[in-house]
A and B are shown apart, each in its own frame.
Chain A
Amino acid sequence: GAVVSQHPSRVICKSGTSVKIECRSLDFQATTMFWYRQFPKQSLMLMATSNEGSKATYEQGVEKDKFLINHASLTLSTLTVTSAHPEDSSFYICSASPRVPVGLFGQGTRLTVV
C-alpha cells in the first residue's frame, strides 16, 4: 500500500555541518510533498511545500537558504539543513498524499545539533 518513507529517523551532527533528510513516496507518485517541523510538546508547523520539478514554496519566516528543498522526482523530496545550529534541533516530518486523501506522514527525523 501507499507509504511515505523518511530517512534517517535520527541524526546527530556538529554545528556548522549540513544534514540531508529524504522523503520518499512508496507505491504512489507525489507531485507535492510537505515538510513540517515540530518542537517538543508543540504542534506541527508547515515549513514548505515541495513541488516536483519546480521551486519549493516556503512559509513566512522559514529561511530558504537555510532549509534547501529539492523535489527532483515524483517519489523523492529532500530537505537539507545547511550550516546547522543547535536551535535547528527539532523533529522534522514530511507528508504526501496519494489520490486517496489520507494525508500520509513519514516516520519523522529527529535532528540534534551539538
Chain B
Amino acid sequence: ELKVEQNPLFLSMQEGKNYTIYCNYSTTSDRLYWYRQDPGKSLESLFVLLSNGAVKQEGRLMASLDTKARLSTLHITAAVHDLSATYFCAVTYNNNDMRFGAGTRLTVKP
C-alpha cells in the first residue's frame, strides 16, 4: 500500500525566513505533486514533478524530487504572509489515483 508521509504537520515561520517541507513516499510512483489549499477552498496545483532530479521553482517556492530516496522537498525562501496555507504533497501510481500526505499547515507571522 502506498503511504505518503509529510512533515512537519504544522509550521510557524517568521516573515523573511527560509524553511523546507518534506514528503516521503513508500513505493515507486508515477508523479509527485505539490498543492496549496486555503481555508474553505479546493486545491491549487503548485508543481508536478515527473523524474528524478526534477526541480521546479515559482516565486518563493521551489520543489525537488529524488526518486531514489522517494523524497520530495518544498523549500520556502524569504517567507511572506501570503504564503500562509496548507500544503499537500501527493503521489500517483497505478491507474492514476492520487494519495495525499497529511498536509503541512504553514503560518507566516510578521
Interface residues of chain A, those whose CB is within 8 Å of chain B, are 6, 32, 34, 41-46, 49, 93, 95, 97, 101-108, 110
Q: Mark B33-46, 1 if CB is under 8 A from A, else 0.
A: 10100001111010
Other than the known A34-B96, A97-B96, what 19 A-B pairs have Cβ atoms closer than 8 Å? Answer: A32-B96, A34-B97, A42-B102, A43-B102, A43-B103, A44-B90, A44-B100, A45-B100, A46-B97, A49-B95, A95-B98, A101-B31, A101-B50, A102-B48, A103-B33, A103-B35, A105-B42, A105-B43, A108-B42
Tell me the smallest distance from the CB of A77 to a CB of chain B, in Å.
14
Size range of the chain B interface in the assembly: 20 to 34
Find out whether the CB atom of A102 lies under 8 angstroms from the CB atom of B45: yes
Q: Which residues of chain A come closer than 8 Å to B48, judged between CB atoms?
A: 101-103
**Min CB distance, A105 to chain B, in Å?**
4
User: A103 near B100 (CB under 8 angstroms)?
Assistant: no
Residues of B within 8 A of A106 (CB): 42
User: Is the Cβ of A104 less than 8 Å from the Cβ of B40?
Assistant: no
Tell me, rounded to whole Å, the shortest Cβ–Cβ distance linking A60 to chain B.
Answer: 10
Q: List 17 A-B contacts (CB under 8 A).
A: A6-B42, A34-B98, A43-B100, A43-B103, A49-B95, A49-B97, A93-B42, A93-B43, A95-B98, A97-B96, A101-B31, A103-B48, A103-B98, A104-B45, A105-B35, A106-B42, A108-B42
**A6 — which chain B residues lie within 8 A by C-beta?**
42
The SS class assigned to the B binding surface is strand
From B35, B42, B48, B103, name the one whose CB has the most chain A CB atoms within 10 angstroms.
B42
Q: Does A44 contact B88, Cβ atoms closer than 8 Å?
A: yes
Query: Could you mark each residue 42-64 of chain B with 1 if its beta carbon is under 8 Å from any beta carbon of chain A, else 0?
Result: 11010010100000000000000
- Note all chain B residues with C-beta closer than 8 A to A97: 96
Asked if residues B98 and A32 are in contact (CB atoms below 8 Å), the reply is: no
- Bound CA–CA A34/B30 (angstroms): 17
Query: Does B92 sit at the interface, judged by CB under 8 A?
Result: yes
A103 contacts which of B40, B45, B101, B102 (Cβ < 8 Å)?
B45
